[in-house]
């Protein structure tokens, strides 16, 4: 596994969602943290639905944009930008009681690196990565700038143990977990819904740009 393939794993749903769930449970364990946890969960559900719909639309029916080289929102970029800023902001306040926005900015940088990795491994186009960053970033902003952002004060052993478990999970799963099956699952759903035997591909989409225009010859 080269460096970019390792980095891109930090955007996989199967790796990020359990970490987000753990921190979300920490936030929701006290009443003052529940608004932020609820808003984060709702945002993740909506962003996941939107991202999945764009993928199904293309795989099943070929709905995309050849000029933008767009076949669907990048799920890795979306999850990274929706989770890392909030994840690190929550960790900063749980552990230090301050530094929320600085930690969120670091999370955004990590998400940006994950997006670059999707380009480096030739998994997505620029437009797809940007779309993922925008959709996920909207989720983070909706949480971080909510009127009632609160992180509960928990016992130190609970905070430290849970956050250590989260860190171990992120790095351990990134190194040893099997590849994510989400793309294959979405493909099966798209084919079942569309009734087609084969998925549409990026090559088919871009072929429309390479076809010569069939224009009538001008009379001189």
CB 9 within 8 A of CB 174: yes
Cα separation, 153 vs 144, whole angstroms: 18
pLDDT in tens, 145-164: 875 666 666 666 566 677 78
The answer to whether 15 touches 173, Cβ cutoff 8 Å, is yes
Does residue 219 lie within any of the structural domains?
Answer: no
pLDDT of residue 217: 45
Give residue-wise pLDDT tens across range 35-72: 888 999 999 999 999 999 999 999 999 999 999 999 99
List, in sequence order, the alpha helices (H) in 96-149. Answer: 100-120, 126-144
Note whether residue 53 is domain-resident. yes
Q: Which residues contact 207 (CB under 8 A, 6 or more apart)?
A: none
Residue 216 placed within a domain = no
List CB contacts of 64: < 8 A, sequence separation 6 or more. Answer: 57, 58, 70, 71, 72, 200, 205
212 falls within a domain: no
pLDDT, the chain, mean: 88
Coil, helix or strand at residue 70 = strand
What does the alpha-carbon distance between residue 92 and residue 100 come to, in Å, rounded to a whole number? Answer: 6
pLDDT digits (tens, 9 = 90+) for 115-154: 999 999 999 999 999 999 999 999 999 999 875 666 666 6
Whole-number pLDDT of residue 152: 63
118 three-class SS? helix
Q: Which residues contact 102 (CB under 8 A, 6 or more apart)?
A: 92
> Which residue range forms the structural domain that includes residue 140?
3-207
Residues 91-110: tens digit of each pLDDT: 888 777 778 899 999 999 99
For the ranges 1-5, 197-201, 213-217, the lowest mean pLDDT is seen at: 213-217
Beta-carbon contacts of residue 118 (< 8 Å; ≥ 6 apart): 8, 11, 74, 76, 77, 124, 128, 129
Q: What is the pTM of this model?
A: 0.88
Give the separation between CA 124 and CA 20, rounded to whole angstroms: 24
pLDDT at residue 218 is higher than 50: no
Compute the C-alpha angle 16/19/25, nearest 5°: 135
Question: pLDDT at residue 86 above 80?
Answer: yes
34: confidence class by pLDDT, cuts 50, 70, 90: confident
Within-domain flag for 36: yes
pLDDT at site 30: 76
Helices (H), the chain: 3-8, 13-28, 34-61, 75-95, 100-120, 126-144, 156-176, 182-194, 202-210
Number of domains in the chain: 1
Dihedral sign for Cα 201, 199, 2, 79, please: positive
Q: What is the pLDDT of residue 1?
A: 59
């Amino acid at each position: 596994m080269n460096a970019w393939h390792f980095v891109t794993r930090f955007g996989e749903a199967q790796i990020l969602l359990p970490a987000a769930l753990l921190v979300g449970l920490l936030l929701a364990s006290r009443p003052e943290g529940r608004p932020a946890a609820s808003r984060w969960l709702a945002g993740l559900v909506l962003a996941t639905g939107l991202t999945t719909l764009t993928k199904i639309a293309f795989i099943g029916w070929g709905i995309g944009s050849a000029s933008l080289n767009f076949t669907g929102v990048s799920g890795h970029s979306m999850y990274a930008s929706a989770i890392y800023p909030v994840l690190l902001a929550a960790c900063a306040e749980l552990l230090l009681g301050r530094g929320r926005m600085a930690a969120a900015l670091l999370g955004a940088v990590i998400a940006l690196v994950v997006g670059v990795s999707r380009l480096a491994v030739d998994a997505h186009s620029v437009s797809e990565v940007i779309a993922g960053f925008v959709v996920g970033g909207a989720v983070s902003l909706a949480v971080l700038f909510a009127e009632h952002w609160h992180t509960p004060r928990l016992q130190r052993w609970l905070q430290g143990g849970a956050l250590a478990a989260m860190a171990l999970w992120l790095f351990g799963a990134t190194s040893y977990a099997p590849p994510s099956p989400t793309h294959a699952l979405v493909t099966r759903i798209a084919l079942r819904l569309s009734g087609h035997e084969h998925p549409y591909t990026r090559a088919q989409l871009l072929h429309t740009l390479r076809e010569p225009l069939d224009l009538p010859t001008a009379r001189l």
